């Protein structure tokens, strides 16, 4: 299992719209092969920044879900972002 943590910065005045967009992805992502969970987090002191934590069976399955998402829907959402999203893949630390 891998954990994907993504960070998103909303364009000015677009924080609520970006949050709604990320929440709207839940059904698509959760129904993608290999997805184990999907959560959108909002920092309590920074309304324009959001985080997404996803758990996947593999990084390849995450990448496949991103590639399969309709490009026209992603293009429509681009105005919500102040900057390109950042993120990375993590494994659980073990003793």
CATH number at residue 28: 3.30.70.100
Question: Which pLDDT does position 33 carry in this prediction?
Answer: 97
> Which residue range is the domain that position 48 belongs to?
11-73
Domain presence at residue 22? yes
- Domains of the chain: total: 1
Question: Which pLDDT does position 59 carry in this prediction?
Answer: 96
pLDDT under 70: residue ranges of the chain: none
Domain presence at residue 88? no
Question: Which pLDDT does position 21 carry in this prediction?
Answer: 96
Question: Which pLDDT does position 94 carry in this prediction?
Answer: 86
Question: Which pLDDT does position 47 carry in this prediction?
Answer: 85
In tens, the pLDDT along 79-94 reads 999 999 999 999 989 8
The dihedral formed by the CA atoms of 73, 66, 43 and 79, expressed in degrees to the nearest 10: -30
Residues 6+ positions from 92 with CB-CB distance below 8 Å? 1, 3
């Amino acid at each position: 299992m891998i954990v994907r943590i993504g960070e998103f910065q909303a364009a000015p005045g677009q924080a609520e719209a970006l949050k709604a967009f990320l929440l709207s992805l839940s059904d698509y992502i959760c129904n993608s092969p290999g997805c184990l969970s999907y959560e959108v987090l909002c920092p309590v002191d920074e309304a324009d920044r959001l985080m997404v934590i996803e758990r996947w069976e593999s990084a390849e399955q995450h990448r496949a879900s991103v590639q399969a998402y309709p490009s026209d829907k992603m293009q429509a959402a681009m105005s919500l972002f102040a900057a390109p999203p950042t993120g990375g893949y993590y494994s659980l630390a073990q003793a």
